[in-house]
Structures are given as C-alpha cells and as structure tokens.
Amino acid sequence: MWRTCLNWIPTMSNLFIRKILVDDICPSCGKWGESTIHALWDCKNLKAARSSWLPDKVAFKGLYFCFLNFIIYPVSSLNSEEFELFCTILWRVWCNRNAGLHGEQTLDTTDMVEWAHNFLVEYKSSRLGTPLSHHTNENGHVKWFPPCPGFFKINCDAAIDTTKLRVGIGIFIRDSNGFVMASSSQVFDASFSAQVAEAMAILMAIVFSNDCGLYPCVLKSDAEVVVNWIKKGSHP
C-alpha cells in the first residue's frame, strides 16, 4: 500500500510521465487518464465493486488529486477489519487490471468484494496453521527455506509434455513465515526447449510477483543453467 500512496505503481499515467508510453488512457474505460486513483477507484468500470462495498458506508465525496489524499478518509473512519477489506479490494482491483492487460482471465467486478472477504478468511485461517518446515525431512531431502523477514520468496518451475507439445508453469510466492501469499499455474501449447521453458517460468514469476505487489522478493529455481545465464547476462 505504501508504494501506492507514493504513486509508484505502473499506471498508464505514471508510465506516460516517464516517457515509456505515448498516451495515458485507461485500458479499461478508454476515456480518462489512468492515474492511481482512477485505476483503483474512480474508473466507471469499477462501479459495481464500489457499489457492493459502500451501501452501509458514507460515500467518499470530494475531489482527490492523488491517492494519498484519497486514502485519508478510510484510514480515519474505518475500523481495522473494514480497512483490511478495503485494502484487499484495492489489491484485487489492481491484480484484475494487470490480468486483463496480459490477456489472462479476470474476475467480474461484481464478485470482487466477495472474493476479498473469502481471501481474508482463508488467509487468517492459514495463519493459525503450522508454517512450512525450514529443515530437512527424515529422508534427508532439503525442504523449503524462508527468505529474510520482510521479503517474499518465489518458487517457480516448468514442465514439458513432448508428446502433446505443451508447457506447464507453476509459481508459488510465500512470506518469511512460509505462508503462501499467491500462486499461479498455466498450461499452454508450445514446443520450447527445457531451458527456454524454465526461463519463461522465471520471467512469468517475476511479472506475477510484481502484479500482486509482493516485493521485495527473492527467487528460487532449480534450473541452474538458466540462472547462471541470467546472472552472467548472456547465454550460448
């Protein structure tokens, strides 16, 4: 959330200011410039999400020149559980926006509040469980090791079905306690080499982590050859 308040997320307007894009039009409504406040709240295509969350709340009124100015009201007027839900909805809105840009499946805006409710319930329930072990098991196999506190750890892998010419990619992102914060799996038609598939898994994992707002992070991959290519900045 702090990156959002500092206006650091890559909206069209922010990318336009940095001269990365030639215009700043919102990819969802196609009418207004996509500032941070527009992308997360003001866009007309988010009306269903706003309406389903606001019936019992005082409407957010006034003009907001930046997200930091906008966030003052919910911080000062909502209780901790309401503010938690509010932030989760905004996070889901941003993830949904990025999924749409990348041609991935999106969640209907009418379902965002319910999704946020369910996510918080599942997340809080998982916090009561036992985190992943950080040591070796009875067979001597190395288990998952946590990142430093305050960091997230990405584990990604790729699998190739040479008979059906398909590639599968799996991604898990955990916090320093071992709790899963986000995951993704994709299967698509392709005939890549093992190295290319692993490189794609790493790239998709980094993009996915950024889209979810889970950073700073470290990434773990078993593809040592590909990892060495990346470290050296070159490949054969």
Averaged pLDDT in 10-residue chunks for the chain of 236 residues? 77 88 89 91 88 61 69 78 87 89 85 86 62 42 71 88 84 84 83 87 90 86 85 71
pTM of the model: 0.54
CATH code of 210's domain: 3.30.420.10
The per-residue pLDDT for 26 is: 93
- What pLDDT, on the 0 to 100 scale, is given for residue 139? 46
* 3-class secondary structure, 196: helix
Residues 168, 98 within the same domain: no
**Would you say residue 78 lies in a domain?**
yes
How far is residue 95's CA from residue 10's CA, in Å, rounded to a whole number? 12
Same-domain status, 115 and 179? no
Confirm whether 143 is domain-assigned: no
Residues 93, 170 within the same domain: no
The structural domain count of the chain equals 2
Q: Is 22 in the same domain as 87?
A: yes
Which pLDDT score, from 0 to 100, does residue 65 have? 67
Show the tokens assigned to 56.
């019992």
Phi, psi (rounded to 5 degrees) for 221: -135, 145
In a domain, 220, yes or no: yes
